[in-house]
Amino acid sequence: MSRRPSFTPKIVTANHLGVGDVVYLSASGEWVRDLSQAELIEDEAHAQLRLLEAEARLHEVVGPYLADAAKGPTGPIPTHFREAFRASGPSNRPDHRRAPPAPATPKPIMTHREAEVEGAL
């Protein structure tokens, strides 16, 4: 019997209706702002159920969706750079960061000088 294709773990994420910032659904059904406190969903059917529940709360959030994530040391971590930027804030304005750069954040774009120092050239 062939195994079912493995399911990439998911988180439910959206933007807060009033403020517009990024929120995640926790296991207890709270909208939280820290990705590590989000529920990491490892079962596809459960993921769909959680998304449906989130979609029913459209007076709280905008555009909930399932995003890929992985298990990190203290909770879910992003696997794609878009979710890394959503978790941590714009990279060009460190003063507006909401969290330290998340895993999967691409390296800073290096100037030529920095690339030389790093031996990338």
Partner 1 sequence: MYQYNDFDRAFLAERTAQFRAQVARRLDGSLTEEEFRPLRLMNGVYLQLHAYMFRVAIPYGTLRSEQMRGLAYVAEKWDRGYGHFTTRQNIQFNWPKLVDIPDMMDHLETVGIHAIQTSGNTIRNVTADHFAGAAADEIADPRPIAELLRQWSTDHGEFQFLPRKFKIGITGSPNDRAVTRSHDIGLRMVERDGEPGFEVMVGGGLGRTPLIGKTIRDFLPKADLLPYIEAILAAYNAAGRRDNKFKARLKITVLENGLEAFRDAVEAEFPARRAAFSGADQQVLAAIEAQFAPPEFRGGDAAAYEAARAADPVFRAWADTNLTAHRRADHAIVTVSLKAHGATPGDCSATQMRALADLADAHGYGELRISHEQNVVIPHVPRDALPALHAVLKEHGLATANIGLASDIIACPGMDYCTLATARSIPVAQAIALTLEEREAEVGPLKIKISGCINACGHHHVGHIGILGLDRAGVENYQITLGGDHTERAAIGERTGPGFPADRIVPAVERLIDAYLELREGADEPFIDTYRRLGMAPFKAALYDQGNVSDAA
Binder to partner 1 among 1, 2, 3, 93 (CB under 8 A)?
A: 93
**DSSP readout, 56-100?**
T-TTTEEEEEEEEEEEETTEEEESSHHHHHHHH--TT-GGG-SSS
Residues 79 and 11: their CA atoms lie apart, in Å, by 11
Q: How far is the CB of 22 from partner 1 (least distance, A)?
A: 6
Site for partner 1 in 47-86 (CB under 8 A): 58-59, 62-63, 79-82, 85-86
Q: Is 21 in the site for partner 1 (CB under 8 A)?
A: yes
Q: How far is the CB of 107 from partner 1 (least distance, A)?
A: 6
Q: Comparing C-alpha atoms, which of 66, 67, 28 is closest to residue 49?
A: 66
Secondary structure (3-state) at 113 = helix
Give me the residues that bind partner 1 (CB under 8 A), please: 15, 17-22, 58-59, 62-63, 79-82, 85-86, 89-93, 96, 98, 106-113, 115, 120-121
